[in-house]
Chain A
């Protein structure tokens, strides 16, 4: 099966009903998306497909064949983080960090389609994402920081 993950074409040999998460973790050795519940309830396995933050633990791999799949690794690197990742660093918006695929990618998907989200819209986008270290305040601040920075540079584009 052919996939496009973080801009690279990847061929994998798996049962096509396998949830995307296990393909990303075990076949492609990606660390970003994580198994939290396997039920689509927590967000730790989140990836972006066609601009939408989706739950890879309940998405069969065949459903995303041919689509561009972006994991947390696909945004930036430790040396050159994506602006939303930089915003999380600035706000120190994590503790254990296990939930970050859900928090960052749900935040990015929201802001990319709605550059000036209201507080309520941010809450809505993160209404299915859990962080049990409860870094909520800083995470919301980081998403707002990303949105503000993105808006500030929009006119230059």
Chain B
């Protein structure tokens, strides 16, 4: 792989077969099990996920003379509560009060390069035996050594609390020992960390430290960054997908009040005005002529269209006996699942502020990765990267790569063109029409059952459509602005047939269902028992920009797997929970399935409820309008990053086709719980976000442009909505590693609801979202 260009990077990341856990260990100076060559594509992929964080305590921590601890982190608060959790972590490892800890989050040149805050990787990377946690533990040991010398007492006779080291009545503070000075110390892999059983700060529901400022409107978001001399820009995106610029008539806005400049760079167009409202009006007024691109594939036949495109194929597992076992199975079940493009749909459209001077630039950006943004933005500006500083500034919740990076390029380009600081916020339409959508998926499933209804073979073949993605450290063309300004997205190279699976098993995209063994070279890495398995992913080119959206691809695959597992259980006339347990072998996954079933008071019986299988017309005659049912789904997120199961209870109105989700009961096991209320908040939000995506959300388009461009055309539900009761069971596994949690509940929600709809109605809806029209069509056909 040496010499591979950056342009292949996106594909390499998707193809990567090494587990995230292995990446973490390689990055954390713990176990280097394979070489990390930064010149090869895999090395670059690792770099984007984990960065190249400091190996020294001083890169992570500083203690002032007054005992205040400043921690530097490359994992930022994006609404998930991570500022508070990391402050708890530092307080715990150092034995100081949490109020004495201040975090500096994500500023190039100041904080460690930890790649991007994404992929539920903040807990795995910063709360296990590396990085920030290890810095705290190393610092604590060093401080105890210093105190030992200072007090003339062996370390094992010292106690430490609230940043004060004591021996009987004698004491010395951290501030006195190190205040204002550097540790000059490498992270120590042998430093002893505080065990979860000893925790007094971590493991407690410390309230969000940023909450008082948030609820009183004092918190500065990037939208509120105000730089002296700042003016306002607005971009003018092409009217249709694939359109190219022919000409711009500057005079169409040149006489408007506050005019500064019309900026054009290849197909990138923007206006800069003194005031924001002036820029908004001018962007609407600007006369630009565009040459339209080729027509878009019709949405009505889009899923079939995907199957016809050249694909890049990857086999995750292949036991090579699937066809034989399906051929000899007592029953074969076939089903196809369809998942639409969905969008991040941040409530605030994306915003950035840039101050680009002749020889340097400062960008205030809500990006999830300041170092990748710095390097890629430097390319956009044509400036050495060491002249660009990127300062993370809070944005609207992003749920993955929304417009945060692309608007940072917008601000940079406009500021460079006018030589003044420029604030840019995208319009609602520009955010929604051009963001990197979550991928559309087509999944064909086949399962073979023996005479007793046990699964004897599982075959999966999926098509997903991608274009662009995260910019990483060198691919600004993965985002619309970079592309319009002249950069290309990651190159797409078809590859079919897929090469044989190689390397250790990994399930980062949850391509492999929970119920198979996940075997490679005779070693099983999966969570199930079915030995006959083949999982083939086909990636094709998307007409729209795509990128990671909360539980990227994991949600799409889990929808297909967990619904199909329910189909197999129904065919076997088995209870869906019992049937899952019959095919699982991972004790923690079994644990969350049992815990949610118990909390939901799950009644053991096969689905569907027999009285509900009457035709809809018959039920209406009988006066039955709402049919109720329950469904189960579970996942080990990313194959190694947090367990979750969910029981959904729904009511389907057979007159209107409306699905009402009445109750969601979840069980989570993400290792030691850092902040119980924080993880609950994430689980609850993820579950409701999952309801919105399951029932409402779908990107739409006509023959030339995206048509879901506001909250009327892209549906979700408001705060004042009849939401389900939510119950969360936390399993606090204190001897396990810390896993992510924020993307687990959303991963299983659509499948749990789909299974509950089946239980209620006997109808298997295999296409998201579960809209009333889709439900009515199915009910009518019944």
> What is A's interface to B at a CB cutoff of 8 Å?
14-15, 18-19, 22, 25-26, 29-39, 41-42, 44, 71-73, 75-79, 81-82, 85, 88-89, 92, 94-104, 122-140
Contact = CB atoms under 8 A, between A and B. Distances in A.
B185 interface: no
Contacts of B211: 88-89, 92, 94, 97
Contact of B677 (A85, A92, A100): A92
A34 B394 CA distance: 13
B513 interface: no
Given A29-B226, A132-B345, A22 B277 contact: yes
A95 to B, nearest CB: 4
B652 to A, nearest CB: 21
B320 interface: no
Interface stretch (B57-65, B128-136, B433-441, B714-722): B714-722
Interface in B735-773: none
Given A22-B275, A126-B719, A129-B718, A31 B221 contact: yes
B428 A76 contact: no
B397 A15 contact: no
Contacts of B428: 36-39, 41
Given A44-B348, A95-B81, A122-B720, A100 B215 contact: yes
Interface stretch (B118-126, B526-534, B598-606, B685-693): B685-693
B719 A26 contact: no
Contacts of A140: 719, 723
A132 B348 CA distance: 9
B121 to A, nearest CB: 18
B216 A35 contact: no
A128 B210 CA distance: 26
A74 to B, nearest CB: 8
B524 interface: no
A102 B207 CA distance: 22
B711 A41 contact: yes
Given A41-B712, A78-B212, A132-B396, 12 more contacts: A19-B277, A77-B218, A78-B218, A95-B79, A95-B81, A95-B682, A96-B394, A100-B215, A126-B718, A134-B688, A135-B685, A136-B721
Contacts of B711: 37, 39, 41-42, 130
B685 A134 contact: yes
B214 A100 contact: yes
Interface residues of B, number: 62
A47 B632 CA distance: 42
Contact of A42 (B81, B215, B347): B347
A123 B684 contact: no
A94 B716 CA distance: 18
A97 B208 CA distance: 11
A72 B455 CA distance: 57
A137 to B, nearest CB: 6
14 contacts: A29-B224, A35-B425, A37-B428, A39-B711, A73-B218, A78-B218, A95-B685, A100-B215, A122-B720, A123-B721, A129-B719, A131-B719, A132-B716, A138-B684
B283 to A, nearest CB: 11
A85 B216 contact: yes
A-B pairs with the 7 shortest C-beta distances?
A32-B217, A96-B79, A126-B720, A72-B217, A96-B397, A134-B688, A97-B214
A139 B681 contact: no
A37 B710 contact: yes
B80 interface: yes
B396 A96 contact: yes
Contacts of A102: 719
Given A34-B348, A38-B280, A132 B399 contact: yes
B720 A89 contact: no
Interface of B: 78-81, 207-208, 210-221, 223-224, 226, 232, 257, 275-277, 280, 345-349, 351, 394-397, 399, 425, 427-428, 677, 681-682, 684-689, 692, 710-712, 716, 718-723, 726
B234 to A, nearest CB: 11
A30 to B, nearest CB: 7
A146 B89 CA distance: 32
B85 to A, nearest CB: 13
A95 B681 contact: yes
Contacts of B224: 25, 29, 31
Given A37-B711, A123-B721, A132-B347, A101 B684 contact: no
Contacts of B347: 36, 42, 44, 98-99, 130-132
B75 to A, nearest CB: 16
Q: Interface centre among B219, B277, B399, by most A CB within 10 Å?
A: B277
A58 B224 CA distance: 19
Contacts of A128: 718, 720
A71 B218 CA distance: 11
B780 to A, nearest CB: 30
B425 A97 contact: no
Q: Interface centre among B275, B351, B722, by most A CB within 10 Å?
A: B275
A136 B348 contact: no
A105 to B, nearest CB: 10
A127 B722 CA distance: 10
A128 B711 CA distance: 10
A95 B718 contact: no
B689 A134 contact: yes
Contact of A98 (B215, B348, B427, B718): B348
A123 B216 CA distance: 23
A31 B685 contact: no
Contacts of A19: 277
Nearest to B218: A78
Nearest to A33: B217
Given A42-B347, A132-B347, A95 B720 contact: no
Q: Interface centre among A32, A35, A128, by most B CB within 10 Å?
A: A35
Nearest to B344: A132
B719 A139 contact: yes
A53 to B, nearest CB: 12
A83 to B, nearest CB: 11
A20 to B, nearest CB: 11
Q: Interface centre among A38, A75, A98, A122, by most B CB within 10 Å?
A: A98
B217 A30 contact: yes
A89 B215 contact: yes
B368 to A, nearest CB: 13
